[in-house]
Amino acid sequence: MNQVIPSSTTTSNRHVLHCRMQSEPAGLERLCRVVRVRGFRIAGMSVESSGEHFDIALTLEGSRSISMLQSQLLKLHTVGEVVLGAQQARSVA
């Protein structure tokens, strides 16, 4: 007997964050860890080095508060700026 299991759909929000941080060993790892611990998934990441700083564009997916993540990232001593970009709602099957 075949049984059809309905697929569940949940809503996930996609956010773009732009960060500027000091170039430091393991700095990017700490930033990624905070993103993960706060319940977001990195869907895309672009990093450019400009002297002593990294300019980072993060595309994130998650349903938690992006402003909470923003404030947590600013607590990292190497992060100088976190700017929220566009937000998109998308359906995930």
- In this prediction, residue 25 carries a pLDDT of 86
* Mean pLDDT by groups of 10 residues along the chain of 93 residues: 46 88 94 97 96 96 95 96 75 44
Q: Is 18 inside any structural domain?
A: yes
- In this prediction, residue 40 carries a pLDDT of 97
Q: Is 1 inside any structural domain?
A: no
User: The domain spanning residue 39 has which CATH number?
Assistant: 3.30.70.260
Q: Is 46 inside any structural domain?
A: yes
Question: Residue length, the chain?
Answer: 93
Overall domain count for the chain? 1
- In this prediction, residue 22 carries a pLDDT of 96
Q: Is 2 inside any structural domain?
A: no
Which residues form the domain of 54?
A: 10-92
Spatial CB neighbours of 12, under 8 Å, sequence gap ≥ 6: 61, 62, 63, 89, 90, 91, 92
Q: Is 37 inside any structural domain?
A: yes
- In this prediction, residue 2 carries a pLDDT of 52
Q: Is 5 inside any structural domain?
A: no
